[in-house]
Amino acid sequence: MRPQDLRAKSFAKYPPQARAFAVANLAVLRQVPLSLLPILLREMIDYDWRFPVEQRVLTRQFQYLASLPQPSFANLMAPFAAVRLPAAIGKMDWVNQPQRFSEQLSGLLWSMQQMDAYRAAALTYQKTLEQVLVEPVPAISRLSIVVIGQGVPHSDRVLFRKLRPHGTIFTKVQPEDGMATLIGVVNDRAREHPAPYAHWYIDGGEPEPGCGLPQGVTLTSYHALAPAALKELNLTSRFVQQSSARSGVGPEAVQSFMAGLGPSDLGLHGDPSQTALRHFEVNVLTEGAGAQVFSTTFVQWTAREALRRAQPLTLFARFAPRQRMAPMEELLKRDPLTQKTDPEGSLIDADMGAYYTWINQQRLSGADRSCFLAWYEGHDIAVAIGPGLAKGTVSDSPANLRKIVAWMS
Amino acid sequence: MIENLRQIAQQTAWTRRDFLRSAAGAIGYAATSHVSPLHAAVRQQGRKTVVVTFGGGARDVETFAPSGQENIPHLIQELIPQATFCTQVVNHGILGHYVATASLATGVYETFDNFALVAPNHPTVFEYYRKGLGRPPNDVWVIAPSNGFNRIGQSSGANFARGYGAPVILPKHLLNAALGEHPNRGAFNFLLQDSYEDPMSTPVLGHTDVPLSRLTDVLHLSVEDFTRHAQTLSSADELSVYVMRQLMRQFAPSLLWITLHDMDVAHAGAYSLYIEGIQRTDRLCGEIWRMIQNDPEYHGRTTMFILPDFGRDSDMDASGNGFQHHRTGDALSRTTWMMALGPHIRQNTTVNRPLDSVDLVPTLGALMGFQTPGAKGRTIVEVI
Ligand SMILES: [Zn+2]
């Protein structure tokens, strides 16, 4: 099948909103080169359970493509049209399995030594879209708060080394009621600026009470998802065993199997208004390497994906100790919640995770006004970054977390 | 927002020349070069070469950049002062560990599927060496980390006469065979870990058909000694270095290639484990160099090369997730370093011009005196 052969009925297997979206944009889809098209379909096929921001971005992208005069459109697509693909790849069901197609595509690009050219094309395309479809600056400054170091009573490590140059280190934080204070900050923002999936709380362990759906906050935690993660690993290893018995199985087949899993496969149920969240959680567990077995990886990856996809106003991420390292074979089989933990290792993981969370927030609109706070839980050290604070400085004055948050913006 | 991140990247930027200067500064050596007096004395004949791949996947920022130097004290304090250090080695190939290591060994960017159990398409340095110098099979050995690597010793044969390959030893397979029905097999699982990149579709090593005779005939170790020693180790790379020591004693091969892989645990996303992997690899590099110095068969005639197979994704590339993977193909994931040390290598010297990963094979050829006609790289004149 070639892109120009697409018809409305090609999308019969898509969920209702996705189908309607595809049909409405059929004229554009028919003109997109095959090396790019399945990447767009990958976003489209999940339209029904995408976050509102993602739906808006996708809509605007297609409005823009439809508005382009033919020569400009051809110009934009030229680098993708130049990608040479073997004829066999056109025989794949790229309409209904765009995920699978893009995995194969990536392998092909590497082996045909076209990866660099493709990468350049993708970057140009993305840059063009970013310039044209400027995301609106949010009504309030974004705020991400990352709490690290749970379960480490004392550490000699120099924390927040990578964040220091960008903000102020506070060395006399009053840690009393720190978590309650931060939850208060998050809940206040959710109350004053309510919007679906605009305020997030991600916990690497058992979440603190009083910050979740009733407060207008999207909540997800490793504690709640660990059983789903274990289920996913069990299903996948059963798939691998069955396939191996027949013919052997490659990493792409495994990824495709995992990509086909849905919330009900993993036993993820809950409030029907949270369907997008359930699908997001499945994506975290099926796409994020290590997020199933290490709670620290879970928090970092979930925060990254939440920022990238939902573009929240508020993100509160708290790391907890992960289970100790073990051979992969054991990690993939055992219940992560009942193992001995590695708090010191987790502190190092979380310190890096805090840095990555800040970087990921800086990728969103309004970055020059965005605020970021990372705190060593229960201790007197924190780093704060925001337009209200000097860069690369140290403050030795006593301060509580509420005050620091106020100083940032 | 792009601009914002670009600024961040610049703030944390340092040139590759800078980091070397800071590395040299840390040990207080002047950046002058001199030729070792042994240079002229050691003739090509009798030379030995050891190649250590500092794998799988190490970024500058955790190794030779100022912030990373604390992770590699052995390289910085013990080895760099004796080495010629190439600050810019770029891998233009596929960033998968087996295919990249195979490319290092053929001097051509191989393009096969990283996860396929295939031999490199182009002749390997092992074949060039053995055929060119008429050397017997046991004069070259490869110690490889995992299942996928077991065909790295000999090319598929389309471009080279068969029968000149290197024997490849997979220490994990040996251990696996040695353990048999060992009552405490589980205790060894750390050493049997085969792949971090693709743990789900990589079957756990079962009872394989590696003949136990390999252990006794080749390494002259009893099953009991081998398993007893393995019990004292904590990682697959330590097991590889242990096997390397046995091979050196047994055959003193003139071309010995060892691929280390522990740090690839980074794929699980835990930064602390990745750093531990780098620290262990650094320690093992120091240990290998001491093994060479303390072995009369190797001392005074051995050149050692250490180089990562490639880097890992940059923190600043939005399509990746920083240190965790090597998927974006960005400049940082392609750019690494290499050091060479040995009696005729200039000490405490840096080479700042850009080199290519495939330059290794022709350099080994020039160093040891054999032709490498199929290799695409260029000889690194600074180390021959
Ligand atoms: Zn890897």
**Average pLDDT for A58-71:** 96
Candidate from B1, B269, B328 with C-beta closest to A363: B1
| Mean pLDDT score, A198-203 | 98
**Segments making up each domain of chain A, as ranges:** 3-132, 143-227+276-408
**Domains of chain B and CATH, by start:** 2-16+45-383 (3.40.720.10)
Ligand 1 midpoint to CA B332 (Å): 15
Band of residue A275 on the pLDDT scale cut at 50, 70, 90: very high
Residue B130 has pLDDT above 70, yes or no: yes
The separation between the first and the last C-alpha atoms of chain B, rounded to the nearest angstrom, is 47
Mean pLDDT across the stretch A198-225? Answer: 98
- B26: confidence class by pLDDT, cuts 50, 70, 90: very low
Q: What is the pLDDT of residue B16?
A: 57
Which of A39, A103, A105, A110 is most worth mutating to test chain B (most B CB atoms within 10 A of its CB)? A110
**pLDDT over threshold 60, residue A132:** yes
> Is B109's pLDDT higher than 90?
yes
- Average the pLDDT over A277-284 and give the result: 96
Record: contact B329-A363, CB cut-off 8 A: no
pLDDT bucket at A404, cuts 50 / 70 / 90: very high
User: Is residue B119 pLDDT above 80, yes or no?
Assistant: yes
B321, B330, B333, best to mutate vs chain A, most A CBs in 10 Å: B321
Give percent of chain B above pLDDT 70: 84
Provide, as residue numbers in chain B, all residues whose Cβ is less than 8 Å from the Cβ of A352. Answer: 271, 322-323
The pLDDT of residue A312 is above 70: yes
DSSP string for residues in B200-239: TTSPPP-S----THIIIIIS---HHHHHHHHTT--SHHHH
Chain A residue closest in CA terms to B192: A327
The better pLDDT of the pair B209, A354 is held by A354
With contacts defined as CB-CB under 8 Å, which chain A residues touch B204? 329
- B176-179 long-range contacts, CB within 8 A, separation 24+: B176/B205, B176/B206, B176/B207, B176/B208, B176/B210, B177/B207, B177/B208, B177/B210, B177/B211, B177/B212, B177/B214, B177/B215, B178/B212, B178/B215, B178/B223, B178/B226, B178/B227, B178/B230, B179/B227
Please give the Cα distance from B241 to A350 (Å, whole number): 32
Distance, in angstroms, between B41 CA and closest chain A CA? 44
B49-78 pLDDT, tens per residue?
999 999 889 999 999 999 999 999 999 999
Token duo for residue B368: 């040891």
pLDDT(B11) > 50: no
Q: CA B131 to CA B155: how far, in whole Å?
A: 13
The mean pLDDT value for A120-142 works out to 91
Q: Ligand 1 mean position to A117 CA, how many Å? A: 23
Q: Which of A130, A236, A328 sits opposite B2 (nearest CB)?
A: A130
pLDDT of residue A80: 93
A contacts of B2 (beta carbons < 8 Å)? 127, 130
Examine the pLDDT at B295 and tell me if it is beyond 80. yes
Q: Is B200 on the interface with A (CB under 8 A)?
A: yes
Does A327 sit within 8 Å of B193, measured CB to CB? Answer: yes
Give pLDDT, residue A105. Answer: 84
**Range from A115-129, A148-162, B113-127 that averages highest in pLDDT:** A148-162
Whether the pLDDT of residue B42 is over 70: the answer is no
B201 and A240 within 8 Å at the Cβ level: the answer is yes
**A100-114, A233-247, B193-207 — which is least confidently predicted?**
B193-207
Compute the Cα dihedral for B345, B350, B356, B357 and give only its sign.
Answer: positive
pTM: 0.92
Predicted confidence at residue B19, as pLDDT, reads: 55
Using the predicted structure, report yes or no on whether residue B38 has a pLDDT greater than 50.
Answer: no
Any idea what DSSP says for residue A254?
Answer: H
Mean pLDDT score across all residues of chain B: 86
CA of A16 to the centre of ligand 1 (A): 39
Which among A236, A250, A367 is the nearest to B4, CB-wise?
Answer: A367
Chain B window 95-154: which residues touch A at a Cβ cutoff of 8 Å? 96, 109, 111-113, 115
| A362 has a chain B CB within 8 A of its CB | yes
Lowest mean pLDDT among B45-59, B177-191, B221-235, B316-330: B177-191
Which residues make Cβ contacts (< 8 Å) with residue A287, sequence separation at least 6? A258, A259
> Quick check: A271 contacting B, CB < 8 Å?
no
Residues B371, B363: contact at Cβ < 8 Å?
Answer: no
Distance CA A401, CA B183 (A): 54
Mean pLDDT calculated for residue range A383-408: 96
Model confidence over B160-212: pLDDT tens digits?
888 999 999 999 888 888 888 787 877 787 787 777 776 666 554 554 456 77
Question: CA A117, A121, A125 angle in degrees (round to 5)?
Answer: 170
A384 touches A373 (CB < 8 A): yes
User: Are the beta carbons of B329 and A115 separated by less than 8 Å?
Assistant: yes
The reply to whether B252 touches chain A by the CB within 8 Å rule is no
